[in-house]
Amino acid sequence: MVGAYIAIGVAAAVVIFFIVLIVRTALAKTAVLPKTEYAAKSPDKQRLTDILVGAVQIETVTMQNQAKEDGTKFFKYQEYIESQFPLVFAVAEKTLVNTYAAIYKVEGSDKSLLPLGILAHQDVVPAPAEGWEVPPFSGEIKDGCVYGRGSQDMKSQMVAALEGLEMQLAAGEKLKRSIYFCFGHDEEFRGVEGATEISKYLERQGIRFEFVVDEGGTVLDGAILGIPKKIALIGTCEKGYADFHLSVEKVGGHASAPARKTACGILAKAVYKLEKKKFKPFWSVPTSEMFDSLAPNMAGVFKFLFINRKVFSFLLKPVLGLVHPMTSCLIRTTLVPTQLKGADAPNVIPPRATATLNCRINTGDTVENVKKRIEKIAGKDVVVTIDKGWFDPCPVSPISSYGYKTLEKTISEVFNGFITAPFMFTAATDSKYYYNICENVFRFTPFEKSEDDLSRIHATNERQNIEQFVTGTEFFRRLYENSCF
């Protein structure tokens, strides 16, 4: 009899528990930004297109060794950009840092307001012609897009940011908050010669920013998370980065008489184990903030599970790890082999085998912890070293700040009906170097992109959709109107 009462009590507790979860889900309301009426101004599409075509045609490929390479292409690019925005550069004060990195200060009238920092990088990754539908630096217009290396990453954003201010100045508006355009020249090679030196220079001058905007979060289809609208993601931080080198040394020789264990075999086993044993998923601060923002907008079972995310973590974490690479990398540190090397000839057993693993470190983890884990899994025969240029995850910028709220408001106005949410940017940008002069550092690319277009970044047939380019320019114009005028 007692057992029956206990069973009834447990069943009742379970029912009450789920009722509480259901009620909690039902009470979760979508955050609604106050409606703001503003006069949208349509940018000149042909002018924008022509400027981007010209920008793409200047081959500003990243220098691997600034001291030994000819960087005059960056001067040529700067001269071109300066010629296209006469109103901006008539009042902008230019400072060159470390030869090729450029700062353009456009001074506002109200000195009590901290400036706005707008970041972009001049450099692009290499673009061998093989596999391209058009020459990679042609800037050819096709299918409503400008094709070419740098068209997405990130000359389009630089042009849009400058044209947004050009439009405001052309309308006779008077700038109150100063704007600093900070254009590094080696973002694609870690930014140590460009953005790092710019931020150090600004710190020495005693300059601090109200908030910073760089490339990063973008506009995506919310269907993957059960949201019937588009999502605009604002990067509030970014993952850490490290390249780990694994090496094994054993006696080499002729392939006809192999030893029981070889350098390649030991290394291959280590790489296999490291790829198989994924890092443990966890809810980092930015990912928690992201799902807390998105959950009320979800439908059906998605909403129920994510509103009660902590209760159903045991289910959500493995599902997110399987649904899509993008959702998987939001909840864990990732480690992937990218380079392997053994012998130079097929019939030689090499005395040394090496591998490189690229690691993106989740907020809350560290490079040192990752190294210890790699060493433990790889085993004592494998030597693990870290390439220079590594960095731990950067701080998380507050979503309660003026900068985030201004971005959120601007997105709501320009991208009508889109939902905003903070998130952890999984790649690397120049913005990580600016925390010495600003705690409100955000990453947002105001161009709606298809999955196909995203896959073209750093790949063949990179392109920028012209209509989205126009909308992105209006985003910057309105951002300045909301924060600087």
Indicate the fold that domain 240-386 takes in CATH: Alpha-Beta Plaits (3.30.70)
The yes-or-no verdict on residue 7 having pLDDT over 70 is no
CA distances from 249 to 265, 349, 390 (A): 11, 11, 25
DSSP state of 61: B
Rounded to whole angstroms, how far apart are CA atoms 74 and 215?
Answer: 20
pLDDT for position 468:
95
Q: Would you state the pLDDT for residue 146?
A: 98
Cβ contact 331:306 at 8 Å: no
* Mean pLDDT in residue range 411-431: 92
Average pLDDT over residues 417-433: 93
At residue 6, the pLDDT reads 60
Q: Distance between CA 446 and CA 251 in Å, rounded?
A: 55
* Arithmetic mean of pLDDT, 79-102: 98
For the cut 70, the answer to whether the pLDDT of residue 354 exceeds it is yes
Higher-confidence position of 223 and 430? 430
Question: So what's the pLDDT on residue 27?
Answer: 59
DSSP 8-state symbol, 435: T
Instruction: State percent of the chain over pLDDT 90.
Output: 77
Report d(CA 365, CA 286) in Å as an integer.
13
Average pLDDT over residues 445-449: 92
Q: What is the pLDDT of residues 91-109, one digit of tens each?
A: 999 999 999 999 999 999 9
More confident site: 28 or 439? 439
* Average pLDDT rounded to a whole number, residues 460-481: 97
DSSP strand pairing (383-386 vs 211-221): unpaired
Mean pLDDT of 367-383: 97
Average pLDDT of the chain, as a whole number: 92
Q: Stretch 230-249: mean pLDDT, rounded?
A: 96
Mean pLDDT confidence for 446-452: 88
pLDDT tier at 389, thresholds 50, 70, 90: confident
* Residue of 302 and 144 predicted with greater confidence: 144
Q: Is the dihedral of CA 212, 188, 43, 90 positive or negative?
A: positive
Lowest-pLDDT choice from 11-20, 248-257, 260-269, 425-434: 11-20
What percentage of the chain has pLDDT greater than the value 70?
Answer: 92
Which residues, 6+ apart, have CB-to-CB distance to 177 below 8 Å? 108, 110, 113, 114, 115, 116, 210, 483, 484, 485
**Among 52-56, 163-167, 423-427, whose mean pLDDT is lowest?**
423-427
Q: Is 193 exposed, middle or buried (0-12, 13-18, 19+ CB in 10 A)?
A: buried
Q: What is the pLDDT of residue 171?
A: 95
In the chain, what is the straight-line distance between the N-terminal and C-terminal CA atoms, in Å?
Answer: 76
What pLDDT, in 10s, does the model give residues 165-177? 999 999 999 999 9
Instruction: State which fold the 45-237+394-483 domain adopts.
Output: Aminopeptidase (3.40.630)
pLDDT at 26: 60
* Active site residues per annotation: 123, 187
pLDDT at position 303 is 87
pLDDT, one tens digit per residue, over 172-217 is 999 999 999 999 999 999 899 999 999 999 999 999 999 999 999 8
**What is the mean pLDDT of the segment spanning 143-159?**
97
User: Which ranges constitute the DSSP H helices of 28-84?
Assistant: 45-56, 72-84
Please give the pLDDT value at position 15.
58
**36 pLDDT exceeds 80?**
no
Please write the tens of the pLDDT for every residue from 296-348: 999 888 888 888 998 888 988 888 877 777 788 999 999 999 999 999 999 99
At residue 228 the predicted structure's pLDDT band, cuts being 50, 70 and 90, is confident
For the chain, what are the domain ranges? 45-237+394-483, 240-386
| Burial 128-142, CB ≥16 within 10 A → b, else e | eeeebeeebbbbbbe
CB within 8 Å of 121: residues ≥ 6 apart: 154, 158, 183, 184, 185, 186, 187, 188, 191, 194, 195, 430
| Residue that wins the pLDDT comparison between 259 and 249 | 249
Predicted pLDDT at 4: 60
Q: How confident is the model at residue 37 (pLDDT cuts 50, 70, 90)?
A: confident
| Helix, strand, coil tally for the chain in percent (to 5) | 40, 20, 40
Query: What is residue 263's three-state secondary structure?
Result: helix
Q: What is the reported pTM?
A: 0.91
| pLDDT at 118 > cutoff 60 | yes
